Amino acid sequence: MPKTEYKQYIGKKWLVIISLVIILFIAALFSISVGAAGLPLREVLSAVFGGGESASRTIIWNVRMPRVATAIGVGIALAMAGCIMQSVLRNSLASASTLGIAQGATFGAAVAIIYFEAGVQIAAFAFVGGISTTFLILLLSRISKITPSTMILAGVALSAMFTGATALIQYFSDDVRMASVIFWTFGNLGRAGWNEILLIFILSAAAFVYFILNRWNYNAMESGTNTAKSLGVNVDMLVLVSMVVATLISAVAIAFVGTINFIGLIAPHIVRKFVGNDYRFLIPCSALMGAIIMLGSDIASCMIAPPAILPIGALTSFLGAPMFFYMIIKKGKMA
């Protein structure tokens, strides 16, 4: 590729990143201004920078800013994880939702709520349930030598198992705890405090650094595992570590906010239309798109039936399910 054409190629990719950053900033401001206490944009901007009325600052910094920050952090984590899972598993349908990670986290949370009376154990048990799913899938791959694509089927089986186990322990619980489990599965961006939000961002930043350092390895994987191995890529180690890191940030995000479906599936596919499969740009663009989708879903949850806030998990499922069907149909036509 001539130098001029390459500069144009890179310039278009950076334009997409800059556009997504601007859209994210606008969506964040709009999300902060949406709520039962209607605040004009000017008041929001003033309160964000320490001015405005005391009541406005309290609402924004204690209620809305944590919610917006949680949406951004969770969106980044789930979208990045989905992007990397799709790369190393060589399957465009891979994500935390389709691999059973979300269902494993739900089972862990249900165990904490029903047998340990909620509390801080919910996040810890949800995390263990989510990350144990990936270890089970990777263990199966080591024992039976299944292909990366077949891991999706293992994830579907584990999803069914965890869903059945969750229903079973709910059946033997009382009505109050059963209702608590159901409410947890709705997804709620208001659960996380600043400490939890900081943890999500720190882990996501560390994962981003690891993924970017391996961007050329992921690009090599696009040509097939044999080609990647011939280029010196340790494919087995790359798949193992990438899956563990992707699962870690997914499980932590889900543990603090509840079940959030399909963000990791749809965000990478949307930005692929603009930046292709070049992981130098696909990884940051997927992260930004995930944050935008989460903020958009949060805005919709607050505006559809005010003053009630609809469950964020239900809205992301409505958004992601059609994309999932589209991907299945597309793969069927290509087969």
> What pLDDT does residue 327 have?
65
> What pLDDT does residue 133 have?
85
Nearest C-alpha neighbor of 139 from the set 60, 269, 243: 243
Q: Distance between CA atoms of 170 and 335, rounded to whole angstroms?
A: 41
Q: Could you state, in chain order, the average pLDDT of each consecutive group of 10 residues for the chain (335 residues)?
A: 76 93 92 72 72 73 87 95 90 83 88 77 82 80 69 82 91 85 83 88 96 94 86 87 89 86 88 91 96 91 78 79 69 51
Instruction: Provide the token pair at 152.
Output: 């999706």
> What pLDDT does residue 286 have?
96
Identify the three-state secondary structure at position 8.
helix
Instruction: Provide the token pair at 62.
Output: 């204690």
pLDDT per residue as tens digits for the range 186-195: 888 887 888 8
CATH H-level superfamily of 3-334: ABC transporter involved in vitamin B12 uptake, BtuC (1.10.3470.10)
Is the N-terminal amide bond of 284 cis, ω within 30° of 0?
A: no
Where do the structural domains in the chain lie, given as residue ranges?
Answer: 3-334
pLDDT per residue as tens digits for the range 34-89: 766 666 777 777 777 766 677 777 778 787 889 999 999 999 999 999 999 999 88
**Helix 175-186 × helix 312-334 angle, to 10°:** 60
| Helix spans in the chain (H) | 3-33, 41-48, 54-59, 65-88, 101-116, 121-144, 151-171, 175-186, 194-213, 215-221, 225-230, 235-257, 263-275, 279-303, 312-334
